[in-house]
């Protein structure tokens, strides 16, 4: 029987930081799940949450068809904490007023905490917080007190003890709110009465039991890419079902240098997992060679992955389940009921509708750093645990435009140089991602006193915690010079290296 844990729900109104709220709660050792704002009161009651957090969102509460909740949720006696839009919705539904601000408040702001309250215990009278709103609360319903304000926001924090309803206009879940974690901690422990007993060890035990009960004696296929996500998913499922699992590694021809050999050595060697190695390079190239549109690339590759697995499953006998290393960020970026599609991840938005497998996605509610913790708990080698994220479609979405074998070889060599030099500099494991992009354009250069007309390489290096936001890294000039010189001198068809200094947003980490 899977142990029941304290649960704090996050109701998602489509905010860019919604999933980060759930992650922050789990960092405080309280289990959290994110559900759509229109989740029924019956389902919420059945989950028995200790508290509910309303996320931010892009809508205005007074707009037609604005996202709203079943008002009966406010009568359940469960502590509720509204953030940004969540605060505005609570106030609006309870009879207060929310209006359009004359001056939009975005970025860092100093919040003056004007009333002593357990939600803000341990904070200074004035704290740096992160704002992101165009509307604001202009008056509060009876029973609410103001706990904080800024120069432009009269109700930056409010509380109603009788109703157990609280709210802030700022975002405590982001790092720019200096003591945001303290605010969340106060809500969880001072107001909801949580004890903080959840851990990744608990997660592993529960997932193993859940997978074992679900699968029984049936066979399972795992889509193994060699990246940290699919590797951790494979070990977790292997722990649950043993030899009933067969991992299928598909070499689609878009892998990094030496990747296929590493996967074979680790999984069939060290862990003794059944490994089916499939050379499908020609098959994938025939499908995608003339394709330039990035969304089409991702969908074709995702579809073909499943077809390869279906073909392999027929050779292996009756296979009922397919394991994937899908993460929360994959799901969010591929589009949910409350979030727009940014790009379709091959393992989410790119899956065919007529797929013959049931999916097992044990990491679907985890973020990347949490997956690394699970990997270490399971004994996965550090060189895989600490690997930087790599897209499922591989180098196919790091070549802008059409794909050729020559472009793949070129990009593969340039990427290997970047990784090697980043490791030498001691930066590889400190950064979220460092990689090369090959655009379809060519540029003029001079090499050996002769004119060249060759491709540039775009160097991308970003720091992030969860891939939902990212900042470009200020690499030392000396390191940039070493990388550029090596690539131009050692990689044919390259005569220029440029550095991408765009953060996310407005850009994304990958170019396609």
Burial of 94 (0-12, 13-18, 19+ CB in 10 A): middle
Two structure tokens written together for 342: 């940014």
449 contacts: CB under 8 Å, gap ≥ 6 = none
* Catalytic member of 5, 117, 133, 171: 171
Query: Any catalytic annotation for residue 345?
Result: no
Asked whether the beta carbons of 257 and 412 are under 8 A apart, the reply is yes
Q: What span, in angstroms and rounded, lies between the C-alpha atoms of 348 and 367?
A: 15
* Catalytic member of 5, 6, 84, 147: 84
User: Residue 454: left if φ>0, alpha if ψ -120 to 50, beta else—which one?
Assistant: beta
Between the alpha carbon of residue 424 and those of residues 418, 429, 479, 483, the distances in Å are 10, 11, 10, 11
User: Residue 482: left if φ>0, alpha if ψ -120 to 50, beta else—which one?
Assistant: alpha
Burial 229-245, CB ≥16 within 10 A → b, else e:
bbbbbbbbbbbbbeebb
* Catalytic member of 173, 304, 361, 510: 173
Q: Does residue 337 sit in helix, strand or coil?
A: coil
Burial of 444 (0-12, 13-18, 19+ CB in 10 A): exposed
User: How many other CB atoms are found less than 10 A from the CB of residue 48?
Assistant: 10
Q: What span, in angstroms and rounded, lies between the C-alpha atoms of 363 and 83?
A: 26
For residue 86, which of 144, 172, 190, 11 has the smallest C-alpha distance?
A: 11
Q: What span, in angstroms and rounded, lies between the C-alpha atoms of 357 and 323?
A: 9
Query: Any catalytic annotation for residue 173?
Result: yes
Two structure tokens written together for 147: 């706990």
User: How many other CB atoms are found less than 10 A from the CB of residue 295?
Assistant: 14
Peptide bond into 444 cis (omega under 30): no
Q: Which residues are catalytic?
A: 84, 171, 173
């Amino acid at each position: 029987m899977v142990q029941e844990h304290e649960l704090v729900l996050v109701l998602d109104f489509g905010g860019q930081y919604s999933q980060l709220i759930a992650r922050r709660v789990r960092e405080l050792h309280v289990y959290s799940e994110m559900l759509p704002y229109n989740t029924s009161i019956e389902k919420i009651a059945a989950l028995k949450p200790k508290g509910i957090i309303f996320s931010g969102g892009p809508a205005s509460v007074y707009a037609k068809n604005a996202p709203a909740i079943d008002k009966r949720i406010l009568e359940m006696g469960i502590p509720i904490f509204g953030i940004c839009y969540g605060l505005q919705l609570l106030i609006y539904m309870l009879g207060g007023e929310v209006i359009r601000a004359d001056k939009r408040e975005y970025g860092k702001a100093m919040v003056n905490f004007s009333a002593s309250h357990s939600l803000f215990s341990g904070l200074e009278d004035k704290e740096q917080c992160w704002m992101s709103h165009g509307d604001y609360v202009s008056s509060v319903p009876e029973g609410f007190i103001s706990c904080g304000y800024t120069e432009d926001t009269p109700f930056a924090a409010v509380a109603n003890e009788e109703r157990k309803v609280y709210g802030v206009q700022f975002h405590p879940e982001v790092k720019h709110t200096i003591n945001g974690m303290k605010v969340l901690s106060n809500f969880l422990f001072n107001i909801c009465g949580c004890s903080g007993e959840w851990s990744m060890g608990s997660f592993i035990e529960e997932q193993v039991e859940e997978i074992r009960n679900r699968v029984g004696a049936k066979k399972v296929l795992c889509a193994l890419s060699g990246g940290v996500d699919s590797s951790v998913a494979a070990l977790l499922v292997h722990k649950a079902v043993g030899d009933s699992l067969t991992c299928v590694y598909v070499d689609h021809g878009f892998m990094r240098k030496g990747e296929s050999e590493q996967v074979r050595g680790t999984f069939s060697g060290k862990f003794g997992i059944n490994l089916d190695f499939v050379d499908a390079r020609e098959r994938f190239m025939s499908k995608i060679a003339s394709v330039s549109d990035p969304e089409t690339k991702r969908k074709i590759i995702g579809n073909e992955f499943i077809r390869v697995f279906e073909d392999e499953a027929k050779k292996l006998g009756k296979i009922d389940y397919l394991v994937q290393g899908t993460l929360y960020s994959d799901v969010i970026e591929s589009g949910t009921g409350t979030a727009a599609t940014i790009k379709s991840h091959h393992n989410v938005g790119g899956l065919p509708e007529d797929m013959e497998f049931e999916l097992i996605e044990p990491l679907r509610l985890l973020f990347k750093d949490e997956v690394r913790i699970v990997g270490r708990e399971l004994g996965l080698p550090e060189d895989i645990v600490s690997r930087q994220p790599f897209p499922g479609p591989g180098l196919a979405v790091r070549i802008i435009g059409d794909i050729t074998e020559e472009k793949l070889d070129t990009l593969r060599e340039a990427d290997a140089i970047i990784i090697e030099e980043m490791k030498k500099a001691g930066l590889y494991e400190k950064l979220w991602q460092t990689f090369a992009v090959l655009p379809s354009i060519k540029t003029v250069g001079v090499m050996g006193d002769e004119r060249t007309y060759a491709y540039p390489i775009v160097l991308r290096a970003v720091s992030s915690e969860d891939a939902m936001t990212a900042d470009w890294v200020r690499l030392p000039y000396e390191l940039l010079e070493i990388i550029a010189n090596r690539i131009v001198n050692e990689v044919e068809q390259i005569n220029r290296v440029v550095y991408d200094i765009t953060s996310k947003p407005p850009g994304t980490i990958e170019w396609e």
